[in-house]
């Protein structure tokens, strides 16, 4: 039914209707943006106080250096903690032998 009424409306009436629709859409958009903003920054109540959970706390202190787990068979001063890529000295010592990573463990 509304389609027939719109087809028969003159240009001035259509423009007025368009203005009303634009105003309604703008109001709905503001309402939606306010709701999205409330969802985006969640609020948490802790000990009867409102705390913003989106604020991240910085870590305190520095991590301790990892203790070495592996040691070279040829040069006892070469050590490795076991993090990251296998060191070159270990790869070279294992190459062509039956040695495995566990053979370099510090006991």
Answer whether residue 64 shows pLDDT above 80. Answer: yes
The model's confidence at residue 2, banded by pLDDT at 50, 70 and 90, is confident
Distance CA 87, CA 23 (A): 67
Query: What is the pTM (predicted TM-score) of this model?
Result: 0.43
> What was the pLDDT predicted at 102?
93
CA atoms in the 13 A half-sphere facing the CB of 45: 1
- pLDDT of res. 14: 92
Instruction: Give the pair of three-digit tokens for residue 19.
Output: 């203005």
* Contact yes or no for 50/68 (Cβ under 8 A): no
d(CA 57, CA 34): 26
Residues 69 and 81 sit within 8 Å (Cβ to Cβ): yes
Measured distance CA(55)–CA(78) in Å, rounded: 43
């Amino acid at each position: 039914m509304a389609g027939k009424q719109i087809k028969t409306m003159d240009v001035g009436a259509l423009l007025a209707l368009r203005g009303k629709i634009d105003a309604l859409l703008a109001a709905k958009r503001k309402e939606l943006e306010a709701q999205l903003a409330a969802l985006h920054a969640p609020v948490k109540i802790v000990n009867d106080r409102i705390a913003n959970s989106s604020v991240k706390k910085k870590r305190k202190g520095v991590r301790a250096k990892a203790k070495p787990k592996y040691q070279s068979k040829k040069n006892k001063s070469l050590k490795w903690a076991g993090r990251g890529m296998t060191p070159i000295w270990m790869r070279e010592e294992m190459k062509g032998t039956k040695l495995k990573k566990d053979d370099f463990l510090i006991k």
